[in-house]
Chain A
Amino acid sequence: MMRTTWTVAAALAAALGLSACGDRPQTLGASGVKQDSPAYQGVGASQYAKPGWQAGDRNSWEQHLRARAAYGQHEYSRSTQ
């Protein structure tokens, strides 16, 4: 009886001691990178946010950026207007 008790106690101690040897999960891939919300979702209420487009509407955001890029960088189109 005593021998059995010692055996069980030793097994439990070994299991407890070895549990610290386990590795943390090292799964690669999409699970490692946190999710990023798309830019067209906007930044919410912010003094830096540019008005003129609807946050959450992808098409509205894309059209706004296209217009901003064309107006701000395309002198030839501005000079002919």
Chain B
Amino acid sequence: MSEAQNRPSLLRLVLSWTFVGVPLVWGITQTVLKAWALFKK
């Protein structure tokens, strides 16, 4: 098998990062929304 065939597709890279990125971004958003109260008058 050539190196080119072994090289994972860009799609796999995007899917992997999306899989872990989505919950992380969701968690960060929840935290920021909560933290907003600190700066409200």
Partners in one complex: no
Question: Chain B residues in contact with chain A, CB under 8 A?
Answer: none
